């Protein structure tokens, strides 16, 4: 059997771009971002471990920046700790696996975004006060 390269396949009649429109086809695709094991088969432990690593780095950075801009640094540290605590609560309280893993991923992303926003804010406030 000769296998055709992907570009030589005839377009599918059920979609104008030639791609499949069946949602089960997308879910079964292992290259789909939402099909990765961290969002489908994990227990959530890896999100807690990496969330703790990210949280520890952020808290150390904010602790070092307290002398530069105390209110913003303390606020950032508290926000990161609260977001990690929310991750722990979600890991324990949410039963549906998919919802739990997506929520943990979103909370970790929110933790990273919050840390970056607070770090930029500290930089801007420090620059303005000079």
Number of domains in the chain: 1
Quick check: is 30 in a domain? Answer: no
Q: Specify the pTM.
A: 0.75
Contacts 24+ apart (CB under 8 A), 54-61: 54/108, 54/111, 54/112, 54/115, 55/80, 55/81, 55/83, 55/84, 55/111, 58/111, 58/115, 61/115, 61/119
Q: Give per-residue pLDDT as tens, 14-44.
A: 555 555 555 555 556 777 878 888 788 888 9
Contact 58, 119 (CB under 8 A): no
Quick check: is 33 in a domain? Answer: no
Q: Which two tokens stand for residue 56?
A: 């520890």
Diameter of the chain measured on Cα atoms: 72
Q: Give per-residue pLDDT as tens, 44-74.
A: 999 999 999 999 999 999 999 999 999 999 9
Q: Give per-residue pLDDT as tens, 98-127.
A: 999 999 999 999 999 999 999 999 999 999
Quick check: is 89 in a domain? Answer: yes
Quick check: is 119 in a domain? Answer: yes
């Amino acid at each position: 059997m000769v296998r055709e390269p992907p570009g030589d396949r005839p377009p599918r009649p059920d979609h104008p771009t030639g791609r499949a429109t069946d949602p089960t086809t997308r879910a079964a695709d292992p290259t789909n971002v939402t099909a990765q094991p961290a969002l489908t088969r994990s227990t959530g432990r890896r999100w807690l471990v990496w969330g703790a690593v990210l949280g520890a780095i952020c808290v150390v950075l904010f602790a070092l920046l307290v002398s530069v801009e105390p209110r913003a640094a303390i606020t950032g540290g508290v926000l990161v700790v609260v977001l990690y605590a929310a991750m722990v609560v979600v890991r324990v309280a949410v039963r549906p696996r998919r919802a739990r893993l997506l929520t943990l991923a979103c909370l970790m992303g929110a933790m990273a975004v919050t840390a970056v926003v607070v770090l930029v804010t500290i930089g801007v406030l420090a620059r303005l006060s000079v």
